[in-house]
Amino acid sequence: MHTDRRQQSAPDVAARVIGRFLAEELRQPVVVENRVGAAGNVGVEYVVRAAPDGYTLLYSPGSTITMNPHLYQFDMQKELVPVAATSLSPLPLVVRADLPIHSVNDLIAYAKQNPGKLTYGSSGTGSPLHVAAELLLSGAGIKAVHVPYKGSAQTTNALLAKEVDFAFDAGVASPHVKAGKLRYLALASSTRSPNYPGLPTVREAAGFPVDVSVPSAILAPPGTPPDIVARLNQTIGRIMGNPAFRDAIAVINSSPPPAHLSPSELAASFRSYTDRFGAAIRATNIPRQ
């Protein structure tokens, strides 16, 4: 199984957890390999060209599948076969704890009082962290300088080093929030999350929506036989209901999706997200890469 995210990132951790449970269910080894680059497209293209035999799979954040068609000349939804959604990881907005910012409205006020001074980090141009931040800036009517990094871990390190002021987090900042070095403000999702008790959504906190929460999923190469896809979907469904799996991904503030979707239902869900993100990306003027 391949993942299109870097080692030690939250998606990488999730992929390895899922790989371990898949190996137990299928009673055969599952090796996870990282194929990164071009905002996930390198890993996607590798799996697209793989043999459709059920032995080569892609674990990817749903944002890669639903956002990248609007940012790159490659629509992976037309190539890959959705197998099953695996986890949901809302992105919290996080700021440096040394700043006098304790809410989204504080951030907006600070930006307006200090024009041109705020900076934000992301895991790369066109990444979910970038899109979420641009939606925040657009909704609030403020500006900040974008500083892209190679991944979410590097973005968190930049916050700790005071290279940037705020960012959306992909599940790696939690220890630093608990240590008092960073501060959560709100979630870029439509609903609150049990993994972030008491943390409001951006809409609740500031009155406008910022929602980039899409389930991560396992996908297969084009032409994978439906019976193999169905078997994998059923196997992953059993894993999603395993309390040990829930506990394992809770470490990165992820949880199983609220409902287990069939492959066709997952494909329809991705198409709906893709349409919504297309409008959001066009509204923020993020250029095609």
Residues 97 and 83 in one domain: no
Residues 114 and 78 in one domain: no
List 81's β-bridge partners, or say none.
220
Residues 78 and 101 in one domain: no
Average pLDDT over all residues of the chain: 90
pLDDT number for residue 63:
80
Residues 31 and 77 in one domain: yes
Contact 211, 192 (CB under 8 A): no
Residues 82 and 224 in one domain: yes
* Sequence-separated (6 or more) residues with CB below 8 Å from residue 117: none
Residues 274 and 220 in one domain: yes
Residues 155 and 196 in one domain: yes
Residues 234 and 253 in one domain: yes
The CATH number of the domain holding residue 43 is 3.40.190.150
* Tokens of residue 112, six digits: 């307006």
pLDDT number for residue 45:
84
pLDDT number for residue 135:
92
The domain tally of the chain equals 2
Would you write out the chain's pLDDT as a tens digit for each of its 289 residues? 988 877 777 788 899 999 999 999 999 999 999 887 766 778 888 898 999 999 999 998 888 888 888 887 666 667 899 999 999 888 999 999 999 999 999 999 999 999 989 999 998 888 889 999 999 999 999 999 999 998 888 999 999 999 999 999 988 899 999 999 999 999 999 899 988 999 999 999 999 999 988 889 999 999 999 999 999 999 999 999 999 999 999 888 888 988 899 999 999 999 888 888 887 788 777 777 6
Boundary (domain end) residue, out of 185, 206, 227: 206
The CATH number of the domain holding residue 199 is 3.40.190.10
Boundary (domain end) residue, out of 206, 224, 253: 206
Does residue 161 lie in a domain region?
yes
263-284 and 128-140 helices, crossing angle to 10°: 50
Round to whole Å and give the CA distance between 128 and 63: 6
pLDDT number for residue 96:
98
Does residue 24 lie in a domain region?
yes
Domain that holds residue 272: 2-89+214-284
Residues 193 and 107 in one domain: yes
Residues 17 and 45 in one domain: yes
Residue 232: which of 61, 25, 43, 29 has the closest Cα? 25
Query: Parallel, antiparallel, or unpaired for β 145-148 and 119-122?
Result: parallel
Tokens 């829930």 -> residue: 246
pLDDT number for residue 194:
86
* Sequence-separated (6 or more) residues with CB below 8 Å from residue 118: 110, 111, 142, 143, 144, 145, 165, 166
Contact 50, 81 (CB under 8 A): no
Q: Which tens digits make up the pLDDT trace of 26-59? A: 999 999 998 877 667 788 888 989 999 999 999 9
Boundary (domain end) residue, out of 190, 206, 222: 206
Residue 14: which of 250, 251, 255, 249 has the closest Cα? 249
Does residue 251 lie in a domain region?
yes
Does residue 289 lie in a domain region?
no
Percent above pLDDT 70 for the chain: 97
Residues 25 and 58 in one domain: yes
Does residue 11 lie in a domain region?
yes
Residues 135 and 192 in one domain: yes
